[in-house]
Amino acid sequence: MKILFTGGGTGGHIFPIVSVARELKKYYSKEDLYLFFAGPREEIPLTDLTREGIKVKRIIAGKIRRYFTIGSLFQNLFDIFFKIPIGIIQAFFYVFFLAPDLIFSKGGYGSFSTVLAGKFLGTPVFLHESDTIPGLTNRFTAKFALEIFVSFPTLKTEYFPQERMLFVGNPIRQTLLQGNEEEARAFFKIDSQKPLILILGGSQGAQRINDVIYKVLNELLVNFEIIHQVGPKNFSEGRALAEVLINKDSEKYYHLYPFLNEQELGLAMVLSNLIISRAGSGSIFEIAAAGKPSILIPLPEAAQNHQLENTYLFAENGASLVIEEANLTPHFLLDRIKYLFSHPTQLKEMEREAKAFSKPKASDVIAGYIIEYLSR
């Protein structure tokens, strides 16, 4: 049994594939299960895939930018006439010689060539859409998909045919929910009883959120302990700023990381009393499954403004507090944090609503459908 995964653009495409792959191996323990991935070289490490025994095939992937500058115009032309055709040829050869029984696409521009090649060669395609508003690639490749798994129940049928859609949530890595508090306190060297705030910016950090945090960092550290994932590119700057900004008495309450791996993130989440994060679908469903209160700050440049749409759907029953970036000022954020911790009943309600929203079995359901289809 051969399954070819595809997708790419951010860690939000890779981590769900890891989760589905793990469930597939639970369902199908025979030695003839072979897992492959075809996608672009991204800034996130694809070692997450290779650790799961997934053989990685890299392809050149072109991207269509839907904003206009002279630079983006030339980049689009280069991608359309050079990268995309080469990627399709590469993907065609990979699919032809690998001869997978099924292609599972997580979407993103990195999946386009592989799904198209699969269509030409008659390979069945299953698709997963993370967001309330599908990206351009998934809107097109959904025409070839036998099953379309969706994260949000309100996805409109104008994008995908209702009869092929199945609402399952977004696949998450179960290890994120298995953190041990005692182990977490030892790992992060936390011995205070202050409430802990976990600040995340997705797999690549979020510079604008970081900048706002730095401006009120000392004020935050008076009352809170902080674990801050700043992104690998921002780590050196963050460390230098922390050395300058933080009072000596508060240094031990600030824990700065370029990136939290899966185990570290699970430990950080079990300790956190509040999570501040961007609003990718993966982050939302991980926060929901952990049952944590959150402040979500949607990325305004996200395609089709999907992070904003995702966030308000998650927050409509009180699971989260949304701050749009246009309103994100240091003291407004500080005020919202203090308000939440001065209203413990609201924090408890946010926990309950987050849990009610969660779909922790999404990867299990998807893996079950794949195995059932291939076992016919």
Band (359; pLDDT cuts 50, 70, 90): very high
Inter-residue contact 3 to 100 (CB < 8 Å): yes
pLDDT value, residue 329 = 95
Residues 181 and 316 in one domain: yes
213, pLDDT greater than 80: yes
Residues forming a β-bridge with 105: 6, 127
- pLDDT score of 66 more than 70: no
Residues 17 and 135 in one domain: yes
Q: Do residues 196 and 311 share a domain?
A: yes
Helix (H, G, I), strand (E, B) or coil at 375: coil
Burial class (CB in 10 A: 0-12, 13-18, 19+), 301: exposed
Do 227 and 164 sit in the same domain of this protein? Answer: no
Q: What's the rounded Cα separation, in Å, for the pair 147 and 124? A: 9
What was the pLDDT predicted at 307? 87
Q: Where are the beta strands (DSSP E) in the chain?
A: 2-6, 34-39, 55-58, 102-105, 125-129, 147-150, 165-167, 196-199, 225-229, 254-257, 274-277, 294-296, 321-322
Angle between helices 330-341 and 344-357 (to 10 degrees): 90
- Cα(262)–Cα(123) distance, integer angstroms: 32
> Do 240 and 334 lie in a common domain?
yes
pLDDT band per the 50, 70, 90 thresholds, residue 116: very high
CATH of the domain at 44: 3.40.50.2000
pLDDT tens for each residue of 1-46: 999 999 876 667 889 999 999 999 998 888 899 999 998 866 555 7
Contact call for residues 251 and 292 (beta carbons, < 8 A)? no
pLDDT classification of 336: cutoffs 50, 70, 90: very high
- pLDDT bin (cut points 50, 70, 90) of residue 306 is confident
Please report which confidence band the pLDDT of residue 343 belongs to, taking 50, 70 and 90 as the band edges. Answer: very high
Hey, what are 198's tokens? 């976990």
Please give the structure tokens belonging to residue 256: 């700065």
Which of the two residues, 29 and 89, has the higher pLDDT score?
Answer: 89
Beta carbons of 309 and 133 less than 8 angstroms apart: yes
Asked if pLDDT for residue 115 goes beyond 90, the answer is: yes
Q: Are residues 225 and 166 in the same domain?
A: no
In the predicted structure, residue 204 carries a pLDDT above the cut 60: no
Do 218 and 350 lie in one domain? The reply is yes
Lowest mean pLDDT among 98-102, 245-249, 303-307, 343-347: 303-307
Query: Which structural domain, as residue segments, surrounds residue 200?
Result: 175-357
Residue 203 DSSP class: T
Q: For 300-307, what is the mean pLDDT?
A: 75
pTM score, two decimals? 0.89
Are 226 and 365 found together in one domain?
Answer: no
Clarify whether residues 212 and 153 are in a common domain: no
Please count the structural domains in the chain: 2
